[in-house]
Structure 1
Amino acid sequence: MRPLENIKVIDFSTLLPGPLAGLMLTEAGAQVIKIERPGSGDEMRSYEPKIGEDSVNFALLNAGKESIAIDLKAGDAFVRLRPLIEQADIVIEQFRPGVMDRLGFGYADLKRINGRLIYCAITGWGQSGPKALVAAHDLNYMAEAGILGLSAGSDGAPVLPPVLVADIAGGAYPAVMNILLALRHRDQTGEGSYLDIAMGENLLPFAYWGMGNGFSADMWPGGGDALVTGGSPRYQIYATGDGRYLAAAPIEEKFWNNFCSIIGLPQEMRNPDADPEAAIAAVAAIIRRKSAAEWRAEFDGHDVCCSIVAHLKEAVADSHFAARKVFDRNLNIAGKTLPALPLPVAAVFRSKSTNLPPRLGADTAKLLAE
């Protein structure tokens, strides 16, 4: 039995944060029911490329769920969904503040008919405050939370992040954490909870060290001048001679000494008091002398905390991931097979098989009849 067996989730969310949170709950055994717009459904269905009728993005994020197609603005929407809400354990939504209230599905409305309900609202800036209604995307949250300003490219400008940190680490993951805490709280008190998940502020713990330095000593980092943002030769990305890159992170002294010995860095550049820019330039010049494969061979078997930057195609084929069976479960859709999304849910709690993503509205009649 998986830990969330017999837990029912009504999910009003679309795109990434809410659906990913729902997927993790599904993996742990919960029944997750998507509430979708008739005709088009979750916008993610329309993305490219497609696998079967819907996008591969939708398939990865919604495997194993059920779908109800219903117009929430219709006069009978609440009446039709009420029996499900009365039985539900969790509601997830990510509309702007006030939208669910206007539709009649706000927390106060639902709490009156289900006092044990855990209501998780995911937004960019939270349910209150001057930015609560401001439209934004992942890049905006990272910019205004001070995360983008910590690093800089060669031209001094912030670097465009390659992943959606706010949506996933600021939205989906905190949603799941707090839902599980709320379930534990309900076990103890019998009461539900309202969870205000704000993606922007949930990014702040990623800059814990910068805030610590700033608040305690007024040493506010910015523009790539700190240890882990480009200000040290011990935490850098260096170009190799064949156009690839070495991610070097020999921060601790023992790793740094090993690294310096292997690459032959002059002694005067190894000193912690050496000019960081000069040391970075010296290391960069050495790393450019050999190819990525040559440096991989040089570092192999030594504790240096160095890696060749992998392309995503290379990374998913890594023998370590294969040994860990990270991509062993597959989705089989319309004659095509692709690995299911590997999630941070311990294997002992996960389903051994992966179900298909739902067709739009496929479960409407069944679930509403029940």
Structure 2
Amino acid sequence: MTMKPLAGLKVLDLSTLLPGPYATMLLADMGAEVLRVESPSRPDLVREMKPSVGRQSASFAYLNRGKRSIALNLKHEQARQVVHALIEEFDIVVEQFRPGVMARLGLDYEALAQINPKLIYCAITGFGQHGSRAHAAGHDINYLALSGISSASNGHLSSVQIADVAGGSQPAVMAILAAVIQRQTTGEGQFIDIAMSDQCVALQPLMMPVSLNSDADFVGDDHFLSGGGIYDYYETSDGYHIAVGSLEPQFRYRLLERLDQLALNDKPDSEVKGVLQALFKQQTRSHWVSELAGIDACVEPVLTPQEVPKELHHQERALFVQGDEGDIQVRPTPLLSGMSHDSLSPAPDLGADTQSVLAEIGINEKDYQALKASGLFD
């Protein structure tokens, strides 16, 4: 089997919940060695989510597959020494604390770069390391609201954490890998400031340039991508929906032709949309899937999450794989040539690798027991 592309990179993951763990999951999927530093007294909330598979929650098993775990009370006076010793051997740190927290612990970039100048340090926060909101609490909904995404999407909520993943995890991975490449030339690491609110603003390459360079402000139903045209979800008689993305003239023509509505082809979108809404409401989703099959007009059924693994295309793409705990997980992506994912090692129990990791940095059994007695791992 071909070596995974990030084999040899060592990542120290001090994050919790979603943005950081998803980023380090992507790195682990591509071969990086990821060590989670977890609080022994305040476990990651994702560990507690339902349902469970084996000893872990299904979500935690997915986000933390292929990683190791060390339990460490970062407020303990000797925690700094342990992390400093680890940093000598690591390439990357990923953390998700509010600005200033890591500095108070003596674990900020400036302190760790003194030990390892090649260190790449990625901080993922809601609002970045400076600015009037830098220390404010926030969630996905807040970053989407401040970026303009919420207004442009009619204020509709999504169960997909757009800001966390597309505004946090994925830009973090891109920046980390860019820093790794640059380090090959300069020999130096660097600090990466990922602000999810910043990245959400940047996630609007069609909408934002228009608003910045004209008087237009696409809010609510004004824009063709947010309900202003026929590009929309249409409810069927059984309460499901059909997604119509027939924006281009050829797709619009094919859809209307199949629906025996070609007389509407030159009519305004508002008129066409009204007819489509009434028409789709007359029959079930399965009827429309059958009726519209093969027309190549960007029309698809809206699947529920439990229906997604049954979709033939996803099966043909081998999109789902089985974890070691018997759970079903999404296949690691991106799938690089030569990467095999027939088996995914399970997520670690809290602190499962503490003693073995400390042994790797020279802490023997006697010293480990003394540290344990001091409360470092409690």
Q: 1:236 to 1:59 in 2, by over 3 A?
A: same
Matches within 5 A, 1:150-189: 150-152=152-154, 158-189=155-186
What's the counterpart of residue 321 of structure 1? 314
Query: Superposition RMSD on alpha carbons, in Å?
Result: 1.5
Q: Is the 8 A contact 2:253 2:262 kept in 1?
A: no
Q: 1:349 to 1:103 in 2, by over 3 A?
A: farther
Residues 294-318 of structure 1 show CA distances to partners (whole Å, capped at 9, x for unaligned) of 2222211212111111111111111
Matches within 5 A, 1:178-257: 178-233=175-230, 235-257=231-253
Q: 1:64 to 1:351 in 2, by over 3 A?
A: farther
User: 1: distance between equivalents of 2:210 and 2:183?
Assistant: 38
TM-score normalised to the size of structure 1? 0.93
Q: Is the 8 A contact 1:81 1:368 kept in 2?
A: no
Residues 207-228 of structure 1 show CA distances to partners (whole Å, capped at 9, x for unaligned) of 2211122223321100121111
Q: What is the DSSP-based 3-state SS (H/G/I as helix, E as strand, rest coil) of the residue aligned with 1:348?
A: coil
Mean Cα displacement is larger for which, 288-297 or 217-226? 288-297
Q: Is the 8 A contact 1:27 1:350 kept in 2?
A: no
What's the counterpart of residue 139 of structure 1? 141
Residues 12-69 of structure 1 show CA distances to partners (whole Å, capped at 9, x for unaligned) of 0011110111111111111100001114432321222222333221111111111111
Q: Is the 8 A contact 1:258 1:304 kept in 2?
A: yes
What's the counterpart of residue 260 of structure 1? 256
User: 1: distance between equivalents of 2:122 and 2:189?
Assistant: 11
Runs of 4+ in 1 over 4 A off after TM superposition: none
1:60 equivalent to 2:62? Answer yes
What's the counterpart of residue 155 of structure 1? none
Q: 1:102 to 1:349 in 2, by over 3 A?
A: farther
What's the counterpart of residue 350 of structure 2? 360
Q: Is the 8 A contact 1:255 1:304 kept in 2?
A: yes
Unaligned 5+ runs, structure 2:
361-378
What's the counterpart of residue 18 of structure 1? 20
What's the counterpart of residue 374 of structure 2? none
1:298 equivalent to 2:298? Answer no
Identical columns (%):
39
CA-CA distance at 1:239 after TM superposition: 1.6
1:338 equivalent to 2:327? Answer yes
Mean Cα displacement is larger for which, 32-41 or 274-283? 274-283
CA-CA distance at 1:287 after TM superposition: 1.9
What is the count of residue pairs matched by the alignment?
A: 357
Unaligned 5+ runs, structure 1:
153-157
Q: What is the one-letter code of the residue matched to 2:161? A: L
Q: Is the 8 A contact 1:151 1:159 kept in 2?
A: yes
Mean Cα displacement is larger for which, 71-80 or 209-218? 209-218
User: 2: distance between equivalents of 1:79 and 1:361?
Assistant: 18
1:270 equivalent to 2:265? Answer yes
Q: What is the one-letter code of the residue matched to 1:282? A: V
User: 2: distance between equivalents of 1:121 and 1:15?
Assistant: 14
User: 2: distance between equivalents of 1:49 and 1:18?
Assistant: 22
What's the counterpart of residue 37 of structure 1? 39
What's the counterpart of residue 369 of structure 1? 359
What's the counterpart of residue 287 of structure 1? 280
Residues 236-287 of structure 1 show CA distances to partners (whole Å, capped at 9, x for unaligned) of 21122332211111100011111111112262x322xx44333211221222
User: 1: distance between equivalents of 2:83 and 2:90?
Assistant: 11
Mean Cα displacement is larger for which, 131-140 or 35-44? 35-44
User: 1: distance between equivalents of 2:11 and 2:335?
Assistant: 20
User: 1: distance between equivalents of 2:54 and 2:279?
Assistant: 50
What's the counterpart of residue 376 of structure 2? none
Q: What is the one-letter code of the residue matched to 1:355? A: S
User: 2: distance between equivalents of 1:349 and 1:63?
Assistant: 20
